[in-house]
A and B are shown apart, each in its own frame.
Chain A
Amino acid sequence: MPSMHHDSSRDAPTLTFTMPAGAPSSVGEAKILLPLSVARDAVIDVRALLVHPMDTGFFRDAEGNPIPAYFVNAVTVTYGGEQVARFEWTSGISRDPFVRFPLRASREAQVQVVWKDNKGGVYQQAVDVKFA
């Protein structure tokens, strides 16, 4: 019975994002975190974080001007030069996008993550996998 649903989005107040004090604020800062020790052929969790506003285009700033859409839409992960994962994102991913994904550590090589946004920005970060 879709007609009986109350559309709560209609009477939601207009919201503006403000950064919490002390948070990193420069767009494009990126971090990759690997486990402290990696064994050969183990499946490890790779955590990657990028500082990015991920604006949907539906919000307005304090003066009432619309904030244009500005979000990361493509992420590629390479391991030793070989692509192992690729993510397609929309503005539905939260701000400062975080992702954790699995990787089979088959050799000592570099893990590189490249983020691309809808305004042509390209951000990248890399870290070496070393067996402990």
Chain B
Amino acid sequence: MGSDRSARYPDGGDTGTDRAPRDGGGRADTGVGRRGFLRAGVLAAAGLAFGRPLLGESAADVVRMVGARGPDDEMTDAVREVLKAKFGDRRIQTGHVQLDIPTDAPDGRAVPTILDIDLPITPNSYVATYHLLVDHNPDIYLAAYHLTAGSGEGPIETRIKMRRTGYVRAIAEMNTGELWSAAVKVFVGLNGCG
């Protein structure tokens, strides 16, 4: 999911703060005048507003990034390790999976979750497994739903526990081996995991 993005953004953040001049605030020792100081501030603000995503990406990439997942889905190293152990170097693409989950869950003990896919389902092309991951739970890899040609269509519904606010990830593994993913950030009130 994040392998191609993390290669482009090795520090994992798009804040643009590293572009701001380091001495922009050190007015006294650098001898920058009032006008120069203001100009540096404006440039720093511009760097924040139009950070790297808009400069280095095509328009389609920007739409993709602000659409389904948001500009930064905050994948942690622990989640990357789980994905690596489960899928190795297989490419995980974004899209086609629907992850219906409330973005605001006051009670983390039971968060209703629906997994679905919008690809055409045939006896030769169906969902073999839905994988469900929660970034900040003690068990990141929460559940797997293995289906067959007789059951691999339509939605799966379940209720999950969440420890705290973070991303829930659904990965649909087709019987052909394709991997499709979706991620939703859920704001959790009550800790449901202990």
Binding site for B on A (CB under 8 A): 1-2, 7-9, 12, 15, 43, 45, 56-59, 77, 79, 82-95, 97-104, 106
Contact = CB atoms under 8 A, between A and B. Distances in A.
A92 B145 contact: no
Given A8-B165, A86-B146, A89-B143, A97 B151 contact: no
A8 B161 CA distance: 16
A103 to B, nearest CB: 5
A90 B161 CA distance: 10
Given A87-B145, A97-B159, A100-B156, A58 B150 contact: no
Interface in B175-194: 190-194
Contact of B148 (A12, A83, A94, A95): A83
Nearest to B142: A92
A118 B156 CA distance: 23
A56 B161 contact: yes
A92 B137 CA distance: 8
A9 B159 CA distance: 20
Contacts of B13: 1
B173 interface: no
Contact of A2 (B76, B134, B137, B157): B76
B143 A88 contact: yes
Q: Is the interface of B mostly helix, strand, loop or mixed?
A: loop
A92 to B, nearest CB: 4
B92 interface: no
14 contacts: A1-B13, A8-B191, A9-B136, A15-B190, A43-B154, A84-B151, A92-B193, A93-B143, A93-B158, A93-B160, A94-B109, A98-B157, A98-B159, A99-B156
Given A2-B76, A56-B194, A59-B194, A101 B144 contact: no
Contact of A43 (B153, B161, B164): B153
Nearest to B137: A92
A9 B164 contact: yes
Pick the 5 closest A-B CB pairs, nearest first: A58-B194, A102-B154, A100-B157, A94-B159, A92-B142
Given A2-B76, A87-B146, A92-B143, A101 B156 contact: yes
Contacts of A98: 157-159
Contacts of B146: 85-88
A79 B110 contact: no
Nearest to A101: B156
B151 A77 contact: yes
B160 A94 contact: yes
B136 to A, nearest CB: 8
Nearest to A106: B150
Contact of B151 (A1, A2, A56, A103): A103
Given A85-B146, A101-B145, 14 more contacts: A9-B193, A15-B190, A43-B153, A43-B154, A59-B194, A77-B151, A87-B144, A88-B146, A90-B139, A90-B142, A92-B137, A94-B110, A102-B155, A106-B150
